[in-house]
Structure 1
Amino acid sequence: MRLAARALGVGLALALAFIGWGYWGATRPPVVVRHSYAMAGLPPGAQFRVLLLSDTHLGVPDMPPDRLAAIVAQANALKPDLILLAGDYIGGKILGMGGRPHLEPAVRPFAALKAPMGVFAVLGNHDNPKWGPVVFAAQPRPRLLVNEAVDIGPLVIAGLNSTLHGADFFRATSDLPPGKPLLLLRHEGDFLAFDKPPPGRSVLALAGHTHGGQMMLPLIGSPGEWLLGKPACRRGACTLNGWRLHVTSGVGTSWLPLRIGVPPELVLLTLTAG
């Protein structure tokens, strides 16, 4: 009896230590991941810094409003030229599954983001497709892209809706100005396996959604991937169906407020002429 009680105590202590470790990993300040891409068609000598932010998942316990505001401040402190948000501003939390009442406070902090070339966003699979455009339109930034492209001078940005809510690749890329490099922003990068890059231009796709696996445990990998399957590109730089693709692990969590082996991250990309 005493041995069983002792074993139970040890098991409970280990479980609490595991949860504490994972919760610390989920709530620590995001690391800044830097990467460079050469893009043909940029003006000679040009260099642009693009910040990619995704999967904020506002909600208790790991992403309260003050933490999201601190992440926005951290993003601004990096002084990017362009900021892109890849979706999932709510969802995966007990108190963050609704429509407009949950989406408004989840999006409001992004109005403080600053970048001289603009701040643009797309919706994720958790974001309400009816209220998303309404909520984003009610504040000065970001500009929400729903299957559309915008010419920002040296670059073209095409933003796709979440695949769950009707991504329309043809509509977003059918009328692009010739020759300019293209940044394609979408929440779920794996679905680029069904779309070929537009010919005759340098392209880079940016996505989130995977959380980088969120918990990558020694020897057994990601428990979430046991249920949902392993993504073609979990995190970082990949090549998929002719696309150069960069996937961020994001800053928030879904379902379990734990991160192990995959820190929250802000991705700062430097684009150069090449």
Structure 2
Amino acid sequence: MRFITRVLALLALGLILLLGKGVWNATRDPVVVRATIPVAGLTRPVTVALLSDTHSGHPDMPRARLERIVAQANALRPDLILLAGDYHGGKTLDWPRTKLETALNPFAALRAPLGVFAVLGNHDEPGWTRWVLRRQGGTPRLLVNETVDLGPLLLGGADSLSRSVMVQRMFPARHGRKPRLLLVHEPDYWRWAPNIAVDLTLSGHTHGGQIVLPLVGTPWEWFTGPMGCRRGLCTADNHRIFITSGVGTSWLPVRFGVPPEIALLTLTPLPDAGEGGDNPPK
């Protein structure tokens, strides 16, 4: 009986240590993942900081941590800052419940020469999110099926619930070869919009799997099937997509095998006649 008790105690201790490690992984400072991506039609390099899936709330994303992440993104001094959705919600242990203002207000401190833009994720409430962002002065600017001309490129932001017809209307007729950048929360968006003409899509949503175990992979795939590309630069049916694993968590406040990250992308010119390959993040 004592042997069984000791075994159970050791198993319980091991589980506690494992969970502690997962929480530490989830709450550590984000790593900066850098990638250089050639884009046809670009006339000069543009650096983009991509943040996603902050999922503000207890226990892993209190306001103080989000403010540190915002400061870290600003310190990278990118030309453009993009937020790919899921700012609030998706928590099981968020008590007392985090207010939407707490989840969004820190973003008002983000600064970039070409601007700070955001789209909605599947966990975001559209009406209240728009209202809070307007109250805090419009930073970040929320894009809902619309396009802005940033000079060196066109940026389109798609609503999480949109479909292909909306995206096709977002981008006006090309003037020369000005590149098109699409910001959308879900990376498999192209399945509903196979004919969209964009040069690069930037997404989040996957958390990189959030829990990726050796030899096993991510447990979520046991229920949903293979995710395909979970993070980094991918190509799907001739669509180039960069997926960030994000900085927060949903459901369980742990990460294994996938640290929180800020993606710093350097978009570089590619001659119209040239051919550029997809390179993994460096």
| TM-score of the superposed pair, with normalisation by structure 2 | 0.89
CA distance in 2, matches of 1:242, 1:117: 28
1:4 alignment counterpart: 4
Q: CA deviation at 1:226?
A: 1.7
**Preserved CA contact (<8 Å) 2:78 2:112:** yes
CA distance in 2, matches of 1:103, 1:170: 30
Q: Secondary structure in 2 aligned to 1:74? A: helix
CA distance in 2, matches of 1:95, 1:127: 18
Amino acid at match of 1:117: L
Change (3 A) 1:96 1:154: farther
**Preserved CA contact (<8 Å) 2:190 2:196:** no
Amino acid at match of 1:114: R
Q: CA deviation at 1:258?
A: 0.3
* 1:77 paired residue among 72, 75, 81: 75
**Preserved CA contact (<8 Å) 1:86 1:122:** yes
CA distance in 1, matches of 2:93, 2:113: 34
Identity of aligned residues (%): 55
Any unmatched runs of 5+ in structure 1?
none
Amino acid at match of 1:104: E
- Deviation larger for 232-241 or 74-83: 232-241
CA RMSD between the two structures? 1.9
1:171 alignment counterpart: 166
Q: CA deviation at 1:17?
A: 1.1
Q: Secondary structure in 2 aligned to 1:253? A: coil
Q: Secondary structure in 2 aligned to 1:130? A: helix
* 1:255 paired residue among 251, 262, 265: 251
Q: Deviations over 1:194-249 (max 9, x none)?
A: 323544xx610000000000011122111122223322321111001221000000
2:219 alignment counterpart: 223
Any unmatched runs of 5+ in structure 2?
271-282
Amino acid at match of 1:243: H
* 2:47 paired residue among 36, 46, 49: 49
CA distance in 2, matches of 1:250, 1:32: 11
Count of residue correspondences: 266
Q: Secondary structure in 1 aligned to 2:221? A: helix
**Preserved CA contact (<8 Å) 2:59 2:94:** no
**Preserved CA contact (<8 Å) 2:164 2:192:** no
**Preserved CA contact (<8 Å) 2:50 2:82:** yes
Correspondence 1:33-112 to 2 at 5 A? 33-43=33-43, 46-94=44-92, 102-112=99-109
* Residue 180 of structure 1 pairs with residue 178 of structure 2: yes
* Residue 127 of structure 1 pairs with residue 124 of structure 2: yes
1:203 alignment counterpart: 199
| TM-score of the superposed pair, with normalisation by structure 1 | 0.92
